[in-house]
Each structure stands twice: as C-alpha cells, then as structure tokens.
Structure 1
Amino acid sequence: MRLAVVLQVPVIPLILFSVSLVAAITFYLAYRSLAKNLFNKVLLWTIFYVFVNSFYAFSVEVFYPAEPWKNKIAPFILMYGPILYFGIVALRDRVLPPWKVFLHAIPFIAFSVLFLALMFGAIKNSEEVHDTVYKQLYRIGPLSFLGYTLYSVFSSRKIFGRFRDKLLMFVFGRVFLLFLATIIMILSFSGQVAHNPNAVYLLRIIVYACMLIFILMIFNYTFNRLLKRSAMTTPYDDNRQEERENVKYERSPLTHVQLLAYQKRLVAIVEDEKLFLDTSLSLSSLANQLKIPNHHLTQVFNMQLKQTFYQFINGCRVNYACQLLEDQKLDMNLEELAEKSGFNAKVSFNRQFKQIKGCTPSEYRDRIRA
C-alpha cells in the first residue's frame, strides 16, 4: 500500500528538481567566491555537470514520460569516474593538460555521439538498438566506477591530511560510485529486479537521493569557504583571541624536557605532513593529532616557540608561499597562491606576508625574478 502511494507521487521529478536548484545556487556561489585554482575549476565543472545531468533527467521525467530510453541510455554516468580522478589530480598540484582530459572523456564522448545520433534519427531508433546501447553502457559504467574509485583510494592516502575540509566530499563520491556500480550490476545480472518496475523505481529514487546529498555537500563546502573568506577580510588578526588567552606557566607541571619533546613532535608533524596547508587547521585539531591536551600545546607555543598558534602556522604558510614564488616553473596569481599556501583569503595572505617578510608577495616575486 505504501509503495503504491510512493509511486503515485512524482518523487523522482521532485528530487531531480531539487538537485538542479541546489546545483545552480552552488555554482553561482562557487563562481563568485572561490579562488580560480585548479581544484576549484574542477569543482565548478563538477557542479555544472551535476546540474546538466539532473536538469536533463528532470526534463525527460516531466515532458517525455513515454520515452524512458532517453534517460536510460544517456551517457552521463561515464564522466563521474573521471571527475573524481580530476579532483585528486588537482589536489596533488598536478596539471591537467587538455589531451589528458580528452583521454579520460573518450568513453563519454563516444557514447554521447551515439546517443545524439539516436536522438536526431541518424541511427535507426528501435528498442533493439536501445537494448544494445544499454547493455554496453552498463558494462563499461561499473568498470569505470571501480577503476577510478580504486585509483582515488590508493593515490590520495596522504593528501587529505592537508585537505580535511574536502575529505567528506571525496569519501561520499567514492561510496556513491561503488553504490552505482553495485546497482548497475544488480540490474544487469538479476532478471527479477530488472523486470520489476517497482524495484527499479525505488533504486532510481535512491540513486537520485544520493546525487542530492552529494550536491548538498558541495554546497556546504562552498558556503563554508565563503564564510571563512568573509571572516578573513576583517581588519582584526586571527591571533588576537589566543593572545588574550595567554597565561603564565611558571607553576606548570610540565618539565623543560617534556616541553622540548612536545616541540620536536609539533615541528616534525606540521612540517613533514604540511598540516599548515589545511585551511581549517585549529589549535584543537592539531592537539588531537599530537594527542596532547590543548593547554599543553599552547604552553609549547608560548614558552618554547615564543609564538602563538596562528603566528607559527602563518609563518609556515608564508615560508611555503616563498618556495612557490621561487619556483620558476609555477605561474599563478596571488589569489591562487594564497589558497595553495593555506590562507582563506588574499587579503589575509598579503597582510601576513608583509608582516613576516617586510614586503608584499608581488614585491618578493619581482625581487627574486629580477
């Protein structure tokens, strides 16, 4: 009885319309607020692709309900694996030359040409042709999902220590691709499920609901980045709050030997794993990684390093930015340089750079390349 009620309500069109709406809003926010570095460009194209996919599927559901093949053999699924790959490459500071993008998009392009030929009558439009294309598409799809997911797992082990704010999107993306592969294999090898319209309908609801969750995650990431950039443009330094909380440690139970050991662990983990590139890094998250209490870590900064947490981390970020500026092979604008160095905004980056180095990033670059 409940299933019959669900089938009478246009659940799938509602979900697809929601995905399209959230994707459109997210694209606008991301385009206006995110730095134009490689990862964010990949993110923008991902949002746009999800919008096109969901809006197309919504249009077919609403305007062509008698022609489900237009959704069934649409080749959108073939680009989600490459998109995951492009995101990992972007996080690893690699370049994405056009030939490499084209290479990974070949299956999608081939099936798109075939699909358009069917749509416009260049190829005989029949159920037999639909079934043939469907079988080939849904054999290649799971292989693509599994291959790119495995690549993502084995190639990004050390990346997300620096980019924990992006971790949830990638983890869900992997799970989503594996889930899609499982559903496709069930539909391909289980005749009972494939020929049961209620089961297929429920599986489609689940798939589109996952797509909605995924785009909501991207929206949350984009919105949080926007809030951080706004906060970083205020005229107050980040380290003022911690400076107000500084205390005297003359009666501390920690010995000098213990403080020195903590200091060595701190410097080693921050520099070796480049934790300072994580824009969401905080005193608490760093203390958790070091497995020491927050107040002990604060004591290390004050008594051993003679700096606050933010002064130390910003110093690491500025030194890393100098390394990037000294690399003659790299050519990036200041906004991209700021984000690559762990800063949320160019304004904060310029302010900290000048405070530490005595000149602006542009002046530093001109000086070393003169």
Structure 2
Amino acid sequence: MLFLLLILVSATNALTLYVILRNNSDTPFDKVIRYAVLVSLVHSVYALCARYYFADSPFIDSGVPFGLLYGPILYFLAFSNDEKRPSRKNILLHLGPFLLVTIVYIVFLVKAEVLQNFSLPYFIILYSGKVLSMVLYVSYLFLNQKKMIADGRLRKLINSGATWLLLIASLFASLIFSKVFQKEEMGALFPGVILYGVMLFVSLLIFKYCIDSLLQYSKTEEALSDDDLQMTKKQYQKSALTPEILREYEQKLNEMMEKEQIFLDTELSLESLSRKVKIPKHHLTQLFNMTINQTFYQYINSYRVSYSCQLLLDEPETNLEEIAFKSGFNSKVTFNRYFKNLMECTPSEYRQS
C-alpha cells in the first residue's frame, strides 16, 4: 500500500512538473508552484528509496527535515499571488530552519555514534519544529488570506493545502507524544500511509490547477499564426467587401472600444461583439484579418492591457488579480501573458517602474 502511494505521488508530481513546463509561465506564483512540486517530487522519491533500500535504517526516512519546507512554501504561494518577489534575505529567513536541520541530519547520517547519543533530542526538536512551523504559517495565512489572495480559485487551492498541512501537524504532534511519553520507536510508529496519502491528495489538487491554467490559456489563445493570417487573407481576396466598407467597420469598431469600452466584458466573444457593433460575424473576421492584421483576441486584449496600464498607475494599492478582472481578463494567467508580450515586462515591474 505504502509503496503504491509513493509511486503515485512521484508520478503525479512528475506529470505536474511536465504540465507546468508546457504552460511556460514565469510569474512569481507559477515559479513557486514549480518549486513546490519539485520539493514534493524529491521528497516522495527520497522516501521511496529510504523505505525500500534502507529499510533497516528508519532514521534515513523519519529523520529527514522536508516537513520544515511546506509551511514556507505555503507562505510564498500566498505572497507571490500579487506578483511580489521575495528578497533573498526573506527567502533565507524562512528556509533557515530547514537548512540548519539538514546540516545536523547529514552529520547524523555520517556519524552513527552521534545519532545514538542525540537521537531523542533531535526527534523532539525536529517534529516540534515541524508542528510549530505548520501551525504558525497556516494561522498567518488564514488571518491574512483575504488581503493576500484575491482570486477565489487560488484561495481554494491554498486553503486546501493549509487544511491538510494542519492534519499533518496534528499527526506529528501525536508522534512527539508517543516518542516522549510512551518511548515508542519513531520508525515503527511513523504512519506513512496517512502522510503520503495527504501528499497525494495535495499533489492532485496542484495537478488539477495546472491543467486548468493550461486549458484556460489554450482557450484564450485562439489566435492564428502569421502563416494562418496570410492564408486567411488569400481566402478573402475575392470578397465583396470593399476597402471603404472595411475602413467604416474599423472606425465603428474603434469608436465602440474607446467610448463604450466593451472590451471590459470578461465574457466578450466574437459572436457577442458582432451583436454589439451590428456587424456580421464573418465580416468582423475578415476585418481583423485583412485590415487590422490581428486576431479577435489580440485586438481585444491589446485594449485590455492598455486599460490595465492606467489602472496600475492610478490604483497602486489594488491587487493585481483585481486589476486583471477590472481590465476584462478572466484569468490572471492570461493577463500576465498578454501584458508581458505587449509591454515586455510583468504588471508588477511596470507598476514599480
């Protein structure tokens, strides 16, 4: 059972990492997601090797300090939601306990006699530290989540991770009690099925989020390539629409965009745009391809990016997630992609500059 769980966790993390790389997003939030999945993958592979190649040395698995990483990762996920990039000093501050305990862990692996003399204090400090870290980070997140996380989908993902982290913290607390007061062996007690079952569930949540983000981007990226545009132009060369009619259409469309700002409608589609401007859909398609030289999504999102630039300057305290929705984007991923493509910087970098 445990072997199967570890295989599933490792496979899910590996697949998620592949999806993240396919998504090719370099926003701070997606970078933290990438590191979180990588940590979980290394943890599950390490546990798999430790439990089945070093079964006679339970300390190799039960003494590893990976648990000290998950609280900081949860914090950085929430922190990076607003495109913020933590400083190196901030990163070292939060990862300091893990790095320090890792050094001690390596010393114990090398010096078996030291482990025999200090194993009990090490386990008490390690697992107490894991419990304290998880509880403090989760408490901070729950108290500040509305301020830190505007997107309901991201909030649901992070809150799910936080809830399961509390479950693991309670598990570790019971291990400390058993170790100190009942003198049980940690290796024999360590309930790996529960721990790695939780890891599998959280890994599946992250995998679903990454798949949804990839599909969302693919859906909004219904833009044609340059070759496709050229091919479409050839198809329209024999069209009955004269250049004068196309110019009238373009003027009418631009006026609607500038005066009525219909691009702010997050549900705007080619069909609904056709109804709003009273231009047949196939005429609009020809207008985009023959005169404007942009696809529908490129044209609409250029207005949205321009509008968001003004919001970023006029509303310095507004969360970037809210800026995206106010500008007409229906996801932060799409907002970041189009913004960086057109402005050659991220929204946060634009605001700071």
Tell me the TM-score normalized by structure 1.
0.63
Equivalent residue, structure 1, for 2:15: 25
Report the identity percentage: 22
Contact 1:173-1:214 at 8 Å conserved across structures? yes
- Note the alpha carbon deviations across 1:225-278, whole angstroms, 9 max, x for none: 111111112149xxxxxxxxxxxxxxxxxxxxxxxxxxxxxxxxxxxxxxx8xx
- SS of 1:66's equivalent in the other structure is coil
- SS of 1:134's equivalent in the other structure is helix
Match of 1:234 among 222, 231, 248: 222
Contact 2:58-2:187 at 8 Å conserved across structures? no
Match of 1:152 among 133, 141, 147: 141
- SS of 1:29's equivalent in the other structure is helix
Residue 86 of structure 1, CA deviation: 0.7
Contact 1:320-1:341 at 8 Å conserved across structures? no
- Note the alpha carbon deviations across 1:162-206, whole angstroms, 9 max, x for none: 3122223211211122111111111222468873899935x3211
The residue correspondences of 1:281-300 to structure 2 (distance < 5 A) are none
Letter in 2 for 1:209: G
Equivalent residue, structure 2, for 1:142: 131
- Per the alignment, do residues 136 and 37 of structure 1 end up closer, same or farther by CA in structure 2, a change over 3 Å counting? same
Equivalent residue, structure 1, for 2:64: 74
Equivalent residue, structure 1, for 2:51: 61
Contact 1:20-1:54 at 8 Å conserved across structures? yes
C-alpha distance in 1 between matches for 2:331 and 2:202: 25
Determine if the alignment matches structure 1 residue 211 to structure 2 residue 194.
no
- Note the alpha carbon deviations across 1:1-35, whole angstroms, 9 max, x for none: xxxxxxxxxx1121112111111111121022141
The residue correspondences of 1:180-219 to structure 2 (distance < 5 A) are 180-190=168-178, 195=184, 200=189, 203-219=191-207
C-alpha distance in 1 between matches for 2:206 and 2:11: 13
Determine if the alignment matches structure 1 residue 124 to structure 2 residue 108.
no
- Per the alignment, do residues 99 and 347 of structure 1 end up closer, same or farther by CA in structure 2, a change over 3 Å counting? closer
Tell me the TM-score normalized by structure 2.
0.65
Determine if the alignment matches structure 1 residue 88 to structure 2 residue 78.
yes
Residue 341 of structure 1, CA deviation: 9.1
The residue correspondences of 1:35-54 to structure 2 (distance < 5 A) are 35-54=25-44
- Per the alignment, do residues 126 and 116 of structure 1 end up closer, same or farther by CA in structure 2, a change over 3 Å counting? closer
- Per the alignment, do residues 186 and 314 of structure 1 end up closer, same or farther by CA in structure 2, a change over 3 Å counting? farther
Residue 147 of structure 1, CA deviation: 0.6
C-alpha distance in 1 between matches for 2:211 and 2:147: 26
RMSD of aligned C-alpha atoms? 4.0
Letter in 1 for 2:153: D
Match of 1:225 among 191, 201, 213: 213
- SS of 2:90's equivalent in the other structure is helix
Match of 1:108 among 85, 94, 98: 98
C-alpha distance in 1 between matches for 2:20 and 2:301: 26
- Per the alignment, do residues 156 and 75 of structure 1 end up closer, same or farther by CA in structure 2, a change over 3 Å counting? same
C-alpha distance in 2 between matches for 1:188 and 1:61: 21
Contact 1:343-1:349 at 8 Å conserved across structures? no
C-alpha distance in 1 between matches for 2:328 and 2:90: 25
Contact 1:188-1:194 at 8 Å conserved across structures? no
Equivalent residue, structure 2, for 1:164: 152
- Per the alignment, do residues 343 and 174 of structure 1 end up closer, same or farther by CA in structure 2, a change over 3 Å counting? closer
| Aligned residue pairs, count | 269
C-alpha distance in 2 between matches for 1:189 and 1:62: 27
The residue correspondences of 1:209-358 to structure 2 (distance < 5 A) are 209-235=197-223, 318-324=306-312, 342=331, 344-345=333-334, 349=338
Gaps of 5+ in 2: 225-263, 277-296, 317-323, 348-353
- Per the alignment, do residues 140 and 196 of structure 1 end up closer, same or farther by CA in structure 2, a change over 3 Å counting? closer
C-alpha distance in 2 between matches for 1:194 and 1:165: 44
- Per the alignment, do residues 227 and 136 of structure 1 end up closer, same or farther by CA in structure 2, a change over 3 Å counting? same
C-alpha distance in 1 between matches for 2:328 and 2:123: 43
Letter in 2 for 1:31: L
